[in-house]
Structure 1
Amino acid sequence: MSRRRALAAAGAMGLAAPGARAQEGWPARPVQMVVAFPPGGQADVAARPVAAALERVFGQAVPVVNRPGAGGILGSASVARAAPDGHTALMALSSLGVLPESERIMGRAPAYTMEQLVPVARITADPTVLLVPAGAPWRTLDDFVAAARARPGAITYGSAGNYSTLHVAMAMLTGAASIELLHVPFQGGGPALTALLSGTIEALASGPGPALPHVKEGRLRALACWGRERIAGFETVPTFVELGHPEVEFYIWAGVFLPVATPRPVLERWGQALRTACGQDAALRRALEAAGSPLAYQDSEAFSAFVEADTRRLTRAVQRIGRVE
């Protein structure tokens, strides 16, 4: 089922009387915003200011609940299986569409499928940035690639887990540059970034938001970015496209999803609330910009089309990676 058909199915369910009753006085209690990763990563950076803005719209508490595990599978599956009453939402990353395919590659039944979730709104869409410690000997991408070719498999890089967005981004680079690196998976972008800062790993593809403060403080160095254009806050950092790798382009997006059977009136209430928050809440916009992850809002229809196209592209990348033991 496509995203648009899933949304239509959810709408049809919402026409029934139970759906109408579900909206009366909604929300009548706090609404959870689930993040399937530990605190400090890209999803967390988006979720916290969005939750604060929604509290002002809903008039209810919107706690952010971190449910890490299995590279994002556990938290995402918990929302896919949650009661479809609109009181549990997911702030997901682009890995959401990758994980079911990675499970199939590993010979396991997926813990959830994309058909179980409805895209409600996109919040951010940031290219990843290649980071190394400030004390590393590599000052340019050419330096890094040359070192990797001289010592195949010796340079370590982290990710938020096997087949996570950060893993897929680096796999695009290693394939395009014909280099071999040693992958060290963590349970989220936050722990991976901490490992880079402590010297446990030597490189990382990171969302620009979590990376920016450490680059500004001089603790990390950015060598290149995966965007088609340079990123605000990283204006001196060239893109892989500029550096001769036109196929190396990747974005970490963050967006809100609800269980597919959520009644149409509640879906519409969520859509209206997020449109209001993203369009009118200056504190939300300032928080995202300060984190280096500016607002890139899309409504449900546009986001659904975006997710379909992005999932197809990332699924192909995961299939190229193949089985990871």
Structure 2
Amino acid sequence: MKRRHLLAVGLGSLAAPSILPASNAFAQAKYPDHPIRFVIPFAPAGPTDIIGRKVAEKMTTIMGQTWVVDNKAGAAGSIGAVEVKNAKPDGYTLLIATSSTHAINPTAYVKPLYDPVKDFTPISSICVNPAVLAARVDLPDTVMGLVEVMKKNPGKYSYGSSGTGGIFHLTGEYFKREVGGMDVEHIPYKGSAPALNDMMSGQIAWMFDTFATMLPLHRAGKIRILGYAYSSRAPIAPEIPTMIEAGVKGYEAYTFNLILGPANMPKNTVDVLDQASRKLMADADMVKFLNDVAAAPTPNTTPELTAKFISDEIAKWAPVIKAAGIRVE
């Protein structure tokens, strides 16, 4: 820096205004120049945590700065989301957002803790994790066969989910609506495992959950997966038809993982993260990892598409939430 200063004096331009913008730019730190805090709004070892940690590992390599995982669980992801909402919008605190934080909670909560659109800066989409429909092995082995039995026996059967107001409860209600209505009671459980146990023992008829949860039991013949709620079949189990192929027109339902920051992040910072995210989603190991956990990667990701995705998901689930009467105090 001393040599630069002496050169400027020698040229007689120390006070020249044209030097000042360049000097100011030189003084500004290049983003990122220290570790990035990556908030995962759920407990360790869950699906979001597993994917989030892989993202952090890959982005650390791509960006040359450590992404430090910080689990902030509670209130269906809202505690972690609020943590990021309130952070300084400098790109050093980011969120892995989910269907809970950015499609369900804002409508389900009586007093939402944040605005999912206005309070965040969209950066990129990582993947969606489509739901699968599974039923007891004594019931029909097709989606529409199951629907026929449900409709012929109103009030006789029930379906389960991992909890009231969660994505798999809403997926069940969405399914009922899209097939023209079924008189089937919802039974909420505290997690997927007890719901699956009750389905295998005959207490409930069917439920939605993830491939990771269902597939081992399906292959063991203990339950039967009938449909995959996505536009194309899953590489992990290509023999399973999509819900659309099975007869439910346009039916897609999934959890998702996005990278968001606080509102009002500088464009140049967002641009850096956008380019890093594109490299992430072009990484063959990352794509294989997502496929192996039955998630569908989102290769075509931009901040603009991420913003549209959030708005579309809110619009999709809001009427389902309201029709189901889900209100969280």
Question: Shared fold (TM-score greater than 0.5)?
Answer: yes
Count of residues in correspondence between the two structures: 295
Task: Kindly state the Cα deviation for residue 288 of structure 1 after the two structures are TM-superposed.
Answer: 1.1
C-alpha deviations, 1:238-261, integer Å up to 9, x for none? 333233321533233221111112
Report what 2:262 is aligned to: 259
Give identity over the alignment, percent.
Answer: 21
User: Partner amino acid for 1:175?
Assistant: R
Q: TM-score, with normalisation over the residues of structure 2? A: 0.76
Larger Rg: 2
Please tell me the root mean square deviation across aligned C-alpha atoms, in Å: 3.2
1:102 to 2:108 alignment? yes
Structure 1 stretch displaced more, 118-127 or 311-320: 311-320
1:316 to 2:322 alignment? no
In the alignment, structure 1 segments of 5+ residues that lack a partner are 1-17, 187-191
Report what 1:288 is aligned to: 290
Report what 2:233 is aligned to: 230
Structure 1 residues 81 and 155: alpha-carbon distance in aligned structure 2, compared to 1, 3 A threshold: same
1:47 to 2:46 alignment? no
CA distance, structure 1, for counterparts of residue 207 and residue 25 of structure 2: 45
User: Partner amino acid for 1:51?
Assistant: A
**How is 1:86-97 mapped onto 2 (pairs within 5 angstroms)?**
86-95=91-100, 96-97=102-103
Task: Kindly state the Cα deviation for residue 196 of structure 1 after the two structures are TM-superposed.
Answer: 3.9
CA distance, structure 1, for counterparts of residue 207 and residue 232 of structure 2: 20
Report what 1:246 is aligned to: 249
CA distance, structure 2, for counterparts of residue 282 and residue 41 of structure 1: 23
Q: Which has the higher contact order (CA 8 A, sep 6+)?
A: 1
CA distance, structure 2, for counterparts of residue 319 and residue 302 of structure 1: 26
CA distance, structure 1, for counterparts of residue 171 and residue 162 of structure 2: 9
Task: Kindly state the Cα deviation for residue 289 of structure 1 after the two structures are TM-superposed.
Answer: 1.8
Question: Does the aligned pair in 2 maintain the 1:212–1:292 contact within 8 Å?
Answer: no
**How is 1:1-325 mapped onto 2 (pairs within 5 angstroms)?**
24=30, 26-29=32-35, 31-95=36-100, 96-103=102-109, 108-114=110-116, 115-132=118-135, 139-142=141-144, 144-145=146-147, 148=150, 150=153, 152=155, 155-159=158-162, 161-162=164-165, 164-177=166-179, 178-179=181-182, 180-184=184-188, 186=190, 192-199=191-198, 202=204, 203-209=206-212, 211-212=214-215, 215-216=218-219, 220-279=223-282, 281-297=283-299, 298-324=301-327
User: Partner amino acid for 2:293?
Assistant: A
Question: Does the aligned pair in 2 maintain the 1:52–1:62 contact within 8 Å?
Answer: yes
Question: Does the aligned pair in 2 maintain the 1:226–1:251 contact within 8 Å?
Answer: yes
Q: TM-score, with normalisation over the residues of structure 1? A: 0.77
Question: Does the aligned pair in 1 maintain the 2:104–2:317 contact within 8 Å?
Answer: yes
Structure 1 residues 278 and 241: alpha-carbon distance in aligned structure 2, compared to 1, 3 A threshold: closer
Question: Does the aligned pair in 2 maintain the 1:45–1:291 contact within 8 Å?
Answer: no
